[in-house]
Structure 1
Amino acid sequence: MTRDIRSALRSAALDAAGRGWPVFPLRAPNDPIGAKKPASFFHGGARCTRQGYCRDGHQGWEELAITDPDRIGRAWSRATHNIGIACGRAGLLVIDLDQPKPGALPPKNAEAEGGFAWGADALAALCEREGGDFTAMWETRTVTTPRGGIHLYYQQPPGVRLGNTQDPERLIDTRGHGGYVLAPGSITPDGVYRLVEDLPPAPLPGWLARLLAPRPSTAVSRRPVRAAERLPAYVDAAVQGECERVATAALGAHSRVLLASSIALGQLCGAGALPPATAASDLADAARHMITNPKCDCTDREITRTITNGLRLGSTRPRRIPNRKAA
């Protein structure tokens, strides 16, 4: 990488941070593992040793993203990095309108919804269905991607925490809490992310905020009661709560959330209040969506390892169980 490219990427990182958007280093534009992935010095929750800056809890790219110009200047001067914007911490919800990949089959519902060929057509169909203003959707900060896609930047709505969504059939994704986008100026083998509309992020339309709002999970709320268990109510509530967190974990935060919940339940196992097999089984059920999601790299083996490590780590620090007398 030339010094000019490194300098341009540093300037782009400083520009994003100057808008109040926390940024973090991605891999270099020519990295064989992938120019869109977090830099190699970030680690997942499953591999966290709880040392260094993680001694008080795992710190991933989202927690470590920064706006400090001095630190950004040093980080992007030492090595060549693409730029990730931590959308949730930046208060952003970014709509990603994709182009179909070469050789991909048309979406199954394309004909039923007007024959859309890419994400913008799908967004137009969605606006028509929900009564939204398609033209107004484009009156916001807009970035083009190297493969012909579009990123539309919006403000996160107040009072709700919007995460990530994926709809590969419609060719529309969103990035919010737990997600990131490449800042304009970032480079991949396909080209450059370019700012084409330098407007402030518009407020997210209310109809779309309602559509994207997280819904309570029904799968974990119907956790079966095993006849042999006889778990105290507060233990069962803890299991339900941690499984809910895992089941609703956003893309990009899967390993971190799963490990944290496994540690929490491991503390109950260590105290003798929860059978480890029950904790492992319920956590695995709640994490099933991480394997079935086509945009997630999680595997069954990784999930099992994360749960096992978390339960083992938590059991070394048993939770103090209150002495409850029968009523």
Structure 2
Amino acid sequence: MRRYDSAPFAPYLRLPFFERLYENGAMAITDRQTATLALAHALSAAERGLPVIPLSATKLPALRSPHRGDPQPVLCRGECGVPGHGVHDATTDPAAVRALFAAAPWATGYGIACGRPPHHLIGIDLDTKSSTDSMAELQHLALRHLFTIPETVTVLTPSGGRHLWLTGPPDTVVPNSASRLAPGIDVRGTGGYLVGPGSVTAHGAYRIAPGTAHLAPAPCPRALLRLIAPPARTRSAAGSPHGQGHGLVQFVLAAQEGQRNTRLFWAACRAYENGLGDSLTEALTAAAVRAGLTEREARATIASADRLTANRGIR
């Protein structure tokens, strides 16, 4: 693989081919060329320590779960050794990256797993789907909480939004969230992924913002990190009935007939989005059984929440 002497992230973020393509207002590119370029960009990202997975044109993981036809729900994070576990497949190994893309020749892009070493990437997704000015919202947060928005790698999305790449400390788990920080601002943390620059989707290409290709992801400001990361749990708090997740368990316990599956699914989704899914699985299952579901029904519902949040890249 060719190596560069410039800034560590610049080589794979410079996309002259795509820039010319969009300057001319054309998308004259074959499916094969798209797949080849997606693999090339993914390999370049992996070479720089960013774990990647192939994505389809819908921005979802390109490989389907190998457990989708199993009669019993399976909570697997790739331990079975077969690809198809979403962000859990993400790797920096070139041979493994090539194997993933060979298994998904229809892939048109790649996702970068957040929260993984060595960079512990955090994505601040500034959306444009609502009438809210998400960049202005972020600036208001910066003024209110006394932090500066750093210069960092910025990826432009086809819809006009942008992804700010930040790095976090290795001992901090940043959960995924949607508009919790502020309207129009999503956070991609542990268990989530960012669409990598050079990816082509049904709505267009993701590309690096001018003037940021030479940058490396900046450390997340401490004040911002306090807003997006939950406080560390002590052992006694985590094990007590007042520990984190207690409210979700109580929510399931209070379910009436006709609400049980819906309440359990909602609670499990919130648990996975906040990095608590694995630790709360047994407690949520027990609560659902006490509320009237069978254990099999409860575990199937929790597995569905696991798959949904993983495939949406919001955890």
- Indicate the TM-score class for this superposition, using the shorter chain for normalisation: 0.5 to 0.7
What SS does the aligned partner of 2:129 have?
coil
**Corresponding residue of 2:137:** 122
Q: Is the 8 A contact 1:246 1:257 kept in 2?
A: no
What SS does the aligned partner of 2:155 have?
strand
Aligned counterparts of 1:80 and 1:57: Cα–Cα separation in 2: 18
Q: Is the 8 A contact 1:157 1:209 kept in 2?
A: no
Aligned counterparts of 1:69 and 1:184: Cα–Cα separation in 2: 18
TM normalised by structure 2 equals 0.63
Q: Are residues 1:201 and 2:217 paired? A: yes
Aligned counterparts of 1:12 and 1:161: Cα–Cα separation in 2: 27
Aligned counterparts of 1:133 and 1:200: Cα–Cα separation in 2: 17
1:80 maps to which of 98, 101, 106: 106
What SS does the aligned partner of 1:125 have?
helix
TM normalised by structure 1 equals 0.61
Alignment of 1:128-277 (within 5 A): 128-134=143-149, 137=150, 139-167=151-179, 170-196=183-209, 197-198=212-213, 199-214=215-230, 216-217=244-245, 219-220=247-248, 248-250=271-273, 257=278, 261-262=281-282, 277=289
Q: Is the 8 A contact 1:94 1:154 kept in 2?
A: yes
Structure 1: give runs of 5+ residues left out of the alignment. Answer: 30-34, 107-116, 227-243, 267-273, 284-301, 311-327
Aligned counterparts of 1:41 and 1:303: Cα–Cα separation in 2: 23
How many Å apart are 1:276 and its aligned residue? 7.2
Structure 2: give runs of 5+ residues left out of the alignment. Answer: 1-29, 232-243, 255-266, 306-315
Aligned counterparts of 2:205 and 2:154: Cα–Cα separation in 1: 14
Note closer, same or farther for the CA distance 1:85–1:303 as it changes in structure 2 (3 Å cut). farther
Q: Which amino acid aligns with 1:39?
A: A
Aligned counterparts of 1:211 and 1:19: Cα–Cα separation in 2: 28
How many Å apart are 1:128 and its aligned residue? 1.1
CA RMSD for the aligned pairs? 4.2
**Corresponding residue of 2:64:** 41
Note closer, same or farther for the CA distance 1:55–1:8 as it changes in structure 2 (3 Å cut). closer
How many Å apart are 1:249 and its aligned residue? 2.0
Aligned counterparts of 1:165 and 1:246: Cα–Cα separation in 2: 11
How many Å apart are 1:40 and its aligned residue? 3.8
Note closer, same or farther for the CA distance 1:280–1:62 as it changes in structure 2 (3 Å cut). farther
**Corresponding residue of 2:14:** none
Q: Is the 8 A contact 1:146 1:191 kept in 2?
A: yes
Aligned counterparts of 2:202 and 2:153: Cα–Cα separation in 1: 24
1:96 maps to which of 125, 130, 138: 125
Summarize deviations over 1:121-173 as a string: whole Å, max 9, x none.
11111111111224xx3x11111001111100011224321111111762101
Q: How many positions carry a matched residue from both structures?
A: 242
Q: Are residues 1:62 and 2:87 paired? A: yes
Summarize deviations over 1:191-216 as a string: whole Å, max 9, x none.
10001212111110000011112254
Higher relative contact order (CA closer than 8 Å, sequence separation 6+): 2
What SS does the aligned partner of 1:93 have?
strand
Note closer, same or farther for the CA distance 1:210–1:309 as it changes in structure 2 (3 Å cut). closer
Q: Which amino acid aligns with 1:261?
A: T
Q: Which amino acid aligns with 1:170?
A: P
Q: Which amino acid aligns with 1:211?
A: L
**Corresponding residue of 2:5:** none
How many Å apart are 1:76 and its aligned residue? 2.6
Q: Which amino acid aligns with 1:250?
A: E
